[in-house]
Amino acid sequence: IADLDFIKTLPKAELHLHIEGSLEPELMFELSRRNKIEIPFSSVEEIKAAYKFHNLQSFLDIYYQGASVLIHEQDFYDLTMAYLLRCREDNVVHTEIFFDPQTHTERGIDIGVVIRGIHSALKDAESEWGISSHLILCFLRHLSEEEAITTLKAAKPYLEFIKGVGLDSSELGHPPSKFQQVFAMAKELGLERVAHAGEEGPAEYIKEALDLLDVSRIDHGVRCVEDEALIERLIDREIPLTVCPLSNTALCVYDDMSQHPILQLLERGLCVTVNADDPAYFGGYVNRNYQALSESLGMTKKQAKKLAINSFKASYISQAQQQKWA
Ligand code: HPA
Ligand code: ZN
């Protein structure tokens, strides 16, 4: 069995991390004071007590509310730097993080403030600790495609800092097909493409993301288990899944970690990876996610190692750089 000490020895890449979801209650409080933004909690304990979710939407409501304390470039820097310190503790040597510009631009924050704050923390972590990174801009799928296009256009002056685009927020009722145009525009701009699909939504949404958005990676994707032909396609085409075990149990995708299919998918030859999603809300950073698989599914050292190697294979770093971590 892979224990925490062993997990720590493995260099890892993280590929599914919403930077707004790494906002710890302590920093949320500090920023709420610093920026004089009221939050409906009077203590860190009260915030933590509110983190009981029954599905994706019940989480998203609290997650968007939490992000309202982020105003200045320095706030985005502090948020990102706090996460990168956790990467260092967990032996995460490469990270590809999501951000949700629309959560901030809707409140009147300039997209440049958001991108510059996050980017400067990423650069500092690279020069100080050698942690490499990419930034992925996510469109909120509960909003219109027109608003996604406006967001992509607003990001154009900063494209040198952005590796790709993604799709997140409320999945059910907002299929990938809704965003065909904006993903085609992103491809035209030379951006990589990923999408959340098959978290709460059906396997059909995974197929749509592949066929209509031309994504090279699926975020979550666990509901592929309902479609045997799709599983074979994901294996044949080597499409990675960025799986988030503690997120899935926190949002009741599975009642218990013992039901999680990640190791079965790994054994079948899918390129599955382990990620934290929104660690401040779901109970842990990447090593805690690996540890949960050991505790509930008896993950072996060999399996843990394979998952860590997959994380580099599934990343957007060069082949040469991947060799370094293999
Ligand atoms: N799913 C959809 N939207 C999200 C998530 C997620 O896991 N985390 C943050 N936004
Ligand atoms: Zn996510």
- Report the separation in Å between the CA atom of 57 and the middle of ligand 2, taken as the mean of its atom positions: 12
Q: Which of 16, 17, 18 to mutate to test the pocket of ligand 1 (most atoms within 8 A of CB)?
A: 18
Q: For residue 34, give both structure tokens.
A: 């610093």
Domain 4-314 sits in CATH 3.40.50.10420: no
**Which residue(s) pair with 272 in the sheet?**
241
- Report the separation in Å between the CA atom of 169 and the middle of ligand 1, taken as the mean of its atom positions: 5
Which tens digits make up the pLDDT trace of 277-299?
Answer: 999 999 999 999 999 999 999 99
| Residue 40 burial (10 A CB sphere; 0-12, 13-18, 19+) | exposed
> Domain segments of the chain: what residues?
4-314
- Report the separation in Å between the CA atom of 80 and the middle of ligand 1, taken as the mean of its atom positions: 17
Band (pLDDT 50/70/90 cuts) for residue 187 is very high
pLDDT at 138: 99
Establish whether 89 is a catalytic residue: no
Task: Report residues whose beta carbon is within 6 angstroms of any ligand 1 atom.
Answer: 18, 21, 56, 168-169, 196, 199, 247, 277-278
Atom nearest to 63 CA in ligand 1: 9
Ligand nearest to the CA of 247: 1
Atom nearest to 171 CA in ligand 1: 2
pLDDT at 324: 82
User: What average pLDDT does the segment 45-50 reach?
Assistant: 92
Query: What is the C-alpha to C-alpha distance for residues 18 and 243, in angstroms, rounded to an integer?
Result: 13
Atom nearest to 21 CA in ligand 1: 9
Tell whether ipTM is more than 0.85.
Answer: yes
Q: For residue 41, give both structure tokens.
A: 């909690």
| Residue in this structure with the two tokens 């979801």, named with its chain if needed | 21
